[in-house]
Amino acid sequence: MLSVLANRVYRHLFAAQVIALIGTGMMTVALGLLAFKIAGDKAGAVLGTALAIKMIAYVGVAPVVGGFANLLPRRAFLVSMDLTRAAVALALPFVDQVWQVYLLIFVLQLASAAFTPTFQATIPDVLPDEAQYTRALSLSRLAYDMESLVSPILAAALLTVITFNLLFVGTVIGFFCSAALVLSVTIPQPQASERKRGIYDNTTRGIRIYLATPRLRGLLALNLSVAAAGAMVIVNTVVLVRGMLQGSDTDVAIALACFGGGSMMAALLLPRLLDRVPDRPVMLSAAGLLAAALLCFALLVSTSVTKEWVWPGLLSTWAVLGVAYSAVMTPSGRLLRRSAHAADRPALFAAQFALSHACWLLTYPLAGWLGSAAGLVPTLLVLSAITFSGVLLARTVWPVSDDDVVPHRHPDLPSDHPHVHGEHAGHAHAFVIDDLHHRWP
């Protein structure tokens, strides 16, 4: 897997991603402490609203930015987004009103919603070989999992010698280092499409491509499955451990570490598996495992006379969920890569970013509200049913025969047109369907 780091451009971009992720993780810890300082007992409501603002920014802004990202110099754009995030992190220690927190978080998430899909769309151009790209995806998944484990530990260690406000300074340094690493390399710029498009076409192009592509409609259904299972872990782990099992904060951390550890293990093993097995059976099987794990844990909780079996059951279930979660999410970049030409990839990655977060925007409150109103077992059953539904829908809309290039006709072009012959003879699903002059044979 580490062989991809021999590519200097990717090595610098990966380092930029890791440093920015660690800085963001530390800022998350500091933001919670800042909310408590400003709002006291209402800190939970402040953080909940901040997370809602984050999702709204992701869902609403990413497609718009993605539609125009291919028109902008990638390196300058990525650096400007890093500097914007650094400026917000630098301003956060000086706020003393809740509305100021909301405003700065919104600006921060706007920058993140612009940066992340553009960054993701850059990697397949840096690593055009699919085997190398697959390993890069696994490294990226590993980086996200490491961030969730390392950042809180690093923040806790730093808080023994500094105040929480200085954690924001660490975040600023992280974003500056990320910007410097991006500046240190030359990033490929995709050739813009020759066809002139209006604002509506640019801003909706990514989502229209996404929803018109069979394999990506399957990915959207699997995004729902992942969000349903993931929401159970993220929202209700503390309720299960501290409430039902009367555990400690350390026990909560151990449970979440099992989920992260399972995800990391899958990220390490997936490249070799995906070299031999197509994406579709791997992702569908993993999503089915998500649903089955939730259902089995619901049965364990509902039938256990004592709680002594629930704790080891929770740890093993969370580890399995981590493995399956990573096995669905890691190959998703491969599907996006092969579903559009380079010029359309920023829009397509932005659409995935927005639509996947829309699924989380649905499942986060469902997991929380249903858990409070009906209890944990009904919540597990409902989320398991949603996960199964996503798997069934994905199996229906994602064809078993999933060729990279779909034959099609150009009735409006002469037979000798270069778009019909030579290097332009084949198109990915999405590009074909999106053009109003293209149609299925």
> Which CATH number covers residue 149?
1.20.1250.20
Count of the separate structural domains present in the chain: 2
Query: Cα separations (Å) of 416 from 326, 406, 407, 408, 422?
Result: 46, 20, 17, 15, 10
Contacts of 200 (CB under 8 A, 6+ apart): none
Query: Cα separations (Å) of 130 from 136, 198, 276, 303, 424?
Result: 10, 33, 13, 46, 20
Domain range holding 84?
1-189
Residue with token string 């996006």:
336
pLDDT at 318: 94
**Helix/strand/coil (H, E, C) string of the chain?**
CHHHHHCHHHHHHHHHHHHHHHHHHHHHHHHHHHHHHHHHHHHHHHHHHHHHHHHHHHHHHHHHHHHHHCCCCHHHHHHHHHHHHHHHHHHHHHCCCHHHHHHHHHHHHHHHHHHHHHHHHHHHHHCCCHHHHHHHHHHHHHHHHHHHHHHHHHHHHHHCCCCCHHHHHHHHHHHHHHHHHHHCCCCCCCCCCCCCCCHHHHHHHHHHHHHHCHHHHHHHHHHHHHHHHHHHHHHHHHHHHHHHCCCCHHHHHHHHHHHHHHHHHHHHHHHHHHHHCCHHHHHHHHHHHHHHHHHHHHHHHHHCCCCCCHHHHHHHHHHHHHHHHHHHHCCHHHHHHCCCCHHHHHHHHHHHHHHHHHHHHHHHHHHHHHHHHHCHHHHHHHHHHHHHHHHHHHHHHCCCCCCCCCCCECCCCCCCCCCCCHHHCCCCHHHHHHCCCCECC
Entry pTM: 0.73
User: Based on the domain organization, do 239 and 314 belong to the same domain?
Assistant: yes
Specify if 137 maps to a domain.
Answer: yes
pLDDT at 430: 38
pLDDT at 72: 72
- Choose the final residue of a domain: 132, 167, 189: 189
Integer Rg of the chain from CA? 22
User: Based on the domain organization, do 149 and 173 belong to the same domain?
Assistant: yes
User: Based on the domain organization, do 408 and 380 belong to the same domain?
Assistant: yes
User: Based on the domain organization, do 163 and 282 belong to the same domain?
Assistant: no
User: Based on the domain organization, do 262 and 353 belong to the same domain?
Assistant: yes
pLDDT tens, residue order, the chain (441 aa):
567 888 888 899 889 888 887 777 777 667 767 776 777 656 656 666 676 777 787 777 766 766 665 667 888 888 998 999 899 888 888 888 888 888 888 888 888 878 877 787 788 888 888 778 778 877 776 777 666 656 655 666 666 677 777 878 888 888 999 999 999 988 877 665 544 555 556 567 778 888 889 999 999 999 999 999 988 988 788 788 888 888 876 787 788 888 888 888 888 888 889 889 999 999 999 999 999 999 999 999 988 766 788 999 999 999 999 999 999 988 888 888 888 777 777 778 778 878 888 898 888 888 888 887 888 899 999 999 999 999 999 999 999 876 555 444 434 434 443 333 433 333 444 344 333 333 332
In contact, 77 and 15? CB cutoff 8 Å: no
pLDDT at 423: 38
The number of residues making up the chain comes to 441
Specify if 194 maps to a domain.
Answer: no
- Choose the final residue of a domain: 140, 156, 189: 189
pLDDT at 48: 60
User: Based on the domain organization, do 172 and 212 belong to the same domain?
Assistant: no
Residue 86 C-beta-side C-alpha neighbours within 13 Å: 18
User: Based on the domain organization, do 225 and 185 belong to the same domain?
Assistant: no
User: Based on the domain organization, do 358 and 218 belong to the same domain?
Assistant: yes
In contact, 338 and 346? CB cutoff 8 Å: no
In contact, 136 and 17? CB cutoff 8 Å: no
pLDDT at 403: 57
User: Based on the domain organization, do 173 and 258 belong to the same domain?
Assistant: no
Of the candidates 239, 268, 266, the one whose C-alpha atom is nearest the C-alpha of residue 255 is: 239
Q: CA-CA distance, 148 to 334, in Å (whole number)?
A: 24
State both tokens at 82. Answer: 């890093």
Specify if 195 maps to a domain.
Answer: no
Specify if 38 maps to a domain.
Answer: yes
Chain CA centroid to CA 365, Å = 18
State both tokens at 389. Answer: 């539904």
Specify if 254 maps to a domain.
Answer: yes
Instruction: Report the alpha-carbon angle 82-205-358, nearest 5.
Output: 65
User: Based on the domain organization, do 254 and 177 belong to the same domain?
Assistant: no
Specify if 235 maps to a domain.
Answer: yes
Specify if 216 maps to a domain.
Answer: yes
Q: CA-CA distance, 223 to 158, in Å (whole number)?
A: 35
Contacts of 124 (CB under 8 A, 6+ apart): 133, 333, 337, 342, 345
User: Based on the domain organization, do 177 and 263 belong to the same domain?
Assistant: no
Specify if 197 maps to a domain.
Answer: no
User: Based on the domain organization, do 433 and 374 belong to the same domain?
Assistant: yes
- Choose the final residue of a domain: 156, 189, 222: 189
